[in-house]
Structure 1
Amino acid sequence: MAFIPETVTRKPEVLLVYTQRMIRGRTFEMIENLGILTLAAQLNASGFDAKAYTGITTDAVKTIEEMKDRLFAVCFYCDFDNRSAVAAIITFLKKHYHFYIVLGGPQTLHMTEDDLDIYQADGILKGEGEESLLTWLGAKVRGEDVLVPGEIRKSQNADYVYLEDFSKYELPRNEDVFNYQERPLLSVITARGCPYRCAFCFEGGNSKNLRMRTAEAVLGEIETRLNNSQRPRYLFFCDDTFTTNPVRLKKILAGLRTLRKKYDFVWFCEGHPGFLVKHSALIREMIDSGMVRMQIGMESGVDDVLKAYGKQASPADIKRVVEICYAEGLPQLTGNYIIGGAFETAATLAETTKTVLALLDLAPGMLDISTTFIMPLPGTQIYNHPEKFGIVLEDRECLTNLEDFPVNHTQALSLPEICMGRSRFITAVSNKMKEQFEKGLIPQERIKADFNLAFNYGIAAGYLKFIYAKDAIMVAYYKKLIEYRGLLKDWHELSEEERNTWIIHKIPDFSMLDLNTLSQTEVDILSYSGRFTSIEMAEKLNVSAGDLKKLLLKMSDRHLILFSAFI
């Protein structure tokens, strides 16, 4: 483009964009897009000034417009969810601005030359772009017309580019994030591709063979990025094949244990229930190396449905993993259930609900259950042959959907029935969680662990978000308890000597309390708090030491008081 100023081409500024439609707080905003972050690292190592941007559509357009006079190119990451949004944004930008626009991302796998007219980008590059994007932009800087591997052109076939040796590419860098502000979450990917072929999964339905990074390369990246961090971090292993190879996994776990001696971090991964049942001892090793949250594929409580999906795991496997994780003390285990999926009927929904409630009974306070509808992703078996799963696709391209409404029904259930089925499922799960809390079935150490993960690492699980956090007094209590790291203790943590000699401290402000629910003695204890031990308080209030201790236990369990060795 001859109209791009020479000053721009000396160190061309490139913005790599991952944007989704207008719903703030969606998961994509929380988890770094390592695709565009890795591409930014390659460009910056080769003379470009590249930044990676993630945000909703309106914010993305506003950011691009603010940078318009400096930009050499804007590169969009395109997946199944954001196709229409990306197409609309590019159409707008091409009408008003003159920088290059490049399109990449997983959705390009299914693009043809017809998409050149739909998206109107200057270039559509299919596949993993560490080499192709750099080559394409470099040619434009030099004013050359170079056909790069994976580029779609009129009457020109283009194969999707898969890379093998990741070690020769630059590692993603936090500082390449646009307007970077450090947050707890730090995303890491250890492999590309997938050996499984689940009927609903884009990766399994479309990817090349699994290509795994070495344990040494993964650990080297983690240490480099942790060394540049200024706060505790939550490592988020993005790939769903993290547990596939037990030999490599053991090496990574050993490395993580060593790194945790120097850096403050915890981590999450996805695990395959079939693998974990066969290698159950690894769960203990994973927890010992810092794993605090894991996701396993649950999908359905019906064995025949899981077989139809090709899950290679049964409801019995899932139950066993839940039992092991709870016994080993894993703070959080999450799983997702597909509502309105393969061969769904009222009976299968009832069986899945029954299964999930039983799992919750096995593990009070640990499970974080979510739900989705079927997304018919291109290249998957459900997209290509929905009839084999008893599914009728009403909107195969999901143009009417933001993952909040089904685009299919089954032979037995209509769209409204599937929506109601999901609502009843969520209500049943929610009521069970509330019942467990109200009956005191959730161990205090699990509640405290959830608050610790929230306050220190930004991890908020379902029990905390939907139950604990609604109690302002409880939040204040655990915030103080965790903030003071052992200088404050609850009644159950105290030795017998400490129960006599430590000072009673009031936690909630009086403005947070309904004084009508407290006895006069309890009000007096709170009023005199911060000055007296339990023995001194008993003398002050003229009650027996035994009666006061019973009252202090009750008040501690109601999150009203904590204890310290100091005034």
Structure 2
Amino acid sequence: MKVLFIHPHGSNWLGSQKDISSVFNLMPPLGMMSIAAVLEQNGIEVELIDCYGTIVTPEELVKQILHNPPDVIGFSCTTSSFLQGNHIATLIKERRPEIITVFGGAHACTIGAPLLDSFPDIDYLVIGEGEQTMLELVQSGFRNVEAIAGAACRINGTGTLTAPRDLIRNLDELPFPAYHLLPNFPKRYNLPLFSYPTAPNTSIISSRGCPYSCSYCDRSVFSSGFRFNSPEYIIEHIAMLNRDYGIRHVFFYDDLFTFDRKRVARFCELKEQKALKVTYNCIARLEHVDGELLGLLKRSGCWQVNFGIESGDPEVLKQHRKFFGLDQVGMKLKMVKDAGMRVKGLFMVGLPGEDEAAIRRTIDYALSLPLDEINVTKFTPFPGAPIYKTIREHGEFEEKWELMNCLNFVFIPSGMTKEQLESLYDEFIRRFYHRRHINLGYAKMLWKSPHSFITFLRNLPEILAFALKQKW
């Protein structure tokens, strides 16, 4: 049985403009690649198409697929890419109805079996972690699916969930993701500009789950526990990427890379011992940061640490996440800088409970912190997030799935307008980056991150067009 995996792109949030987001920040679809690796390990023929890495229309894609059709097509979709994935499935079914379509990913996991009632061209869903469930579905030939845990199928014409699938306890049992299935890896893939010192580079996920319960986070795929690869496995993973693909820098895309201190300490120790010439970035929570940990990270090659700060208004923060005193944040970030690493702050605009004054407090607060760069997203109430259940009590929610990608204001807090939010968002970006010391920091990237500058100059016309459109 031949299986094809597709990672749909979704709608272009820039309208008629080139989507520069996928030029300056394109990471491989690791979840889908992990499932593909497990299938290959068990002798199943697998192909993979990442529509972010290979830009193609749905019609062109279907023509390409049907030239050498698979038996099964697996789609991994976010909320914003789900409708395009379904459109591709419909085009496939119109021409070759015998091809089996299976959907997984965040959107399938959050909506669940009702998707089968509303979208007839989807045959099955994979709910939760997909490696073992997809393997069993393929090996069974999709017979007696109701007996396979972690799936959804139609029983008497109605979408029905099977039994829950147990979480994978030992993540080291999984093979490394199937990077070789990406035809342009690593050349086509790149971390965010100026967020790495060298290229080629890529991302790694070395843990699953999160024990925290922030209102805006969707935990429907990996649940709320915390499981992780061993330090030995991570070192082998990095060594393979360096040896086979020339990777020189990685970004640990884990929500909580530093959560288990013993794991981090052992990883740093091993990396020093192995003298792996690969630097890295990670995401940390402020609670986990101290001088000893930062010393370990720096000595083992950490280049940048990202922190989810989200808001500079204490009352807004208390509503949405575990509160960490704002007066301590600057001190912690300065410790990272003093240890010799860059610091990136992650913020949101448009959270429930925010008004203009609260957002301005966040902007002023961000400008007061020792940050090298920021990432500001537009709050999006995803179906799997706790806040989704009561979101309409807090303002207006336009639930258009194709726009739910953190790049559009689909939710407007009570008392605000979309125009206000867009104006404040643009002001946030403009005020942060239009400062002399920030610009000097980017000038230093000529020698600290030369690949970023080359990519920046190569795409300068698109950047200027985008900046003018956003009035930055």
TM-score by length of structure 2 reads: 0.83
> Residue type of the partner of 1:169?
L
Counterparts of 2:143 and 2:418 in 1: how far apart (Å)?
53
> Residue type of the partner of 1:283?
L
Deviation at 1:38, TM superposition (A): 0.8
Tell me the secondary structure at the aligned position of residue 406 of structure 2. Answer: coil
1:314 paired to 2:325: yes
1:288 paired to 2:299: yes
CA offsets 1:236-268 (integer angstroms, 9 cap, x no match): 111111010111110111122234x2x432111
Tell me the secondary structure at the aligned position of residue 153 of structure 1. Answer: strand
Q: Which has the greater radius of gyration?
A: 1
Tell me the secondary structure at the aligned position of residue 115 of structure 1. Answer: helix
Which stretch of structure 1 is more off in the superposition, 178-187 or 97-106?
178-187
CA offsets 1:417-446 (integer angstroms, 9 cap, x no match): 1111112222221222xx3367xxx47xx8
Deviation at 1:224, TM superposition (A): 2.4
Kept after mapping to 2: 8 A contact 1:167/1:217: yes
1:83 paired to 2:71: no
CA offsets 1:484-536 (integer angstroms, 9 cap, x no match): xxxxxxxxxxxxxxxxxxxxxxxxxxxxxxxxxxxxxxxxxxxxxxxxxxxxx
> Residue type of the partner of 1:191?
S
Report percent identity of matched pairs. 18
Which stretch of structure 1 is more off in the superposition, 393-402 or 73-82?
393-402
TM-score by length of structure 1 reads: 0.70
Alignment partner, residue 26 of structure 1: 21
> Residue type of the partner of 1:269?
C
Aligned counterpart for 1:213 among listed residues 222, 229, 250? 229
Counterparts of 1:307 and 1:272 in 2: how far apart (Å)?
16
CA 1:383/1:206 → structure 2, altered by over 3 Å: closer, same or farther? farther
Alignment partner, residue 197 of structure 2: none
Kept after mapping to 1: 8 A contact 2:9/2:81: yes
> Residue type of the partner of 1:264?
K
Alignment partner, residue 62 of structure 1: 60
Aligned counterpart for 1:274 among listed residues 258, 273, 287? 287
Alignment partner, residue 498 of structure 1: none
Aligned counterpart for 2:398 among listed residues 387, 391, 395? 395
Counterparts of 1:317 and 1:110 in 2: how far apart (Å)?
35
Kept after mapping to 2: 8 A contact 1:126/1:158: no
CA 1:461/1:306 → structure 2, altered by over 3 Å: closer, same or farther? farther
Deviation at 1:196, TM superposition (A): 0.9
CA 1:206/1:168 → structure 2, altered by over 3 Å: closer, same or farther? closer
Q: Which is richer in helix?
A: 1
Q: Please list, as runs of the form range in 1=range in 2, the aligned pairs for 1:131-530 lying within 5 A after superposition.
A: 131-140=132-141, 144-147=143-146, 148-155=148-155, 156-161=160-165, 162-182=167-187, 184-203=200-219, 207-230=223-246, 232-259=247-274, 261=275, 263-276=276-289, 279-330=290-341, 332-359=342-369, 363=370, 367-386=372-391, 391-432=394-435, 435-436=436-437, 442=440, 447-448=443-444, 450-455=445-450
Deviation at 1:392, TM superposition (A): 0.9
CA 1:346/1:327 → structure 2, altered by over 3 Å: closer, same or farther? same
Kept after mapping to 2: 8 A contact 1:193/1:210: yes
Counterparts of 1:437 and 1:381 in 2: how far apart (Å)?
36
Counterparts of 2:65 and 2:49 in 1: how far apart (Å)?
12
Counterparts of 2:319 and 2:278 in 1: how far apart (Å)?
38
Deviation at 1:369, TM superposition (A): 1.3
Deviation at 1:340, TM superposition (A): 1.7
Deviation at 1:64, TM superposition (A): 4.5
Kept after mapping to 2: 8 A contact 1:125/1:150: yes
Tell me the secondary structure at the aligned position of residue 199 of structure 1. Answer: coil
Deviation at 1:135, TM superposition (A): 1.6
Tell me the secondary structure at the aligned position of residue 412 of structure 1. Answer: coil
Unpaired segments of 5 or more residues in structure 1? 1-8, 471-567
CA offsets 1:247-294 (integer angstroms, 9 cap, x no match): 1110111122234x2x43211111101221xx3321122122111122
Kept after mapping to 1: 8 A contact 2:218/2:382: yes
Deviation at 1:299, TM superposition (A): 0.7
User: Hey, which bits of structure 1, 4+ residues long, moved more than 4 A?
Assistant: 143-146, 397-402, 458-462
1:48 paired to 2:44: yes
Counterparts of 2:225 and 2:387 in 1: how far apart (Å)?
20
How big is the alpha-carbon RMSD for the aligned residues of Structure 1 and Structure 2? 3.0
CA 1:179/1:423 → structure 2, altered by over 3 Å: closer, same or farther? closer
Alignment partner, residue 32 of structure 2: 36
CA 1:61/1:138 → structure 2, altered by over 3 Å: closer, same or farther? farther
Counterparts of 2:62 and 2:36 in 1: how far apart (Å)?
16
Counterparts of 2:5 and 2:358 in 1: how far apart (Å)?
47
Tell me the secondary structure at the aligned position of residue 243 of structure 1. Answer: coil
CA 1:242/1:226 → structure 2, altered by over 3 Å: closer, same or farther? same
Counterparts of 2:322 and 2:50 in 1: how far apart (Å)?
32
Counterparts of 2:221 and 2:117 in 1: how far apart (Å)?
27
Which stretch of structure 1 is more off in the superposition, 419-428 or 48-57?
48-57
Tell me the secondary structure at the aligned position of residue 385 of structure 1. Answer: helix
CA offsets 1:121-168 (integer angstroms, 9 cap, x no match): 22212121111111212222xx84444212212344334533222222
Say how many residue pairs are matched: 433
Counterparts of 2:415 and 2:237 in 1: how far apart (Å)?
49
Tell me the secondary structure at the aligned position of residue 219 of structure 2. Answer: helix
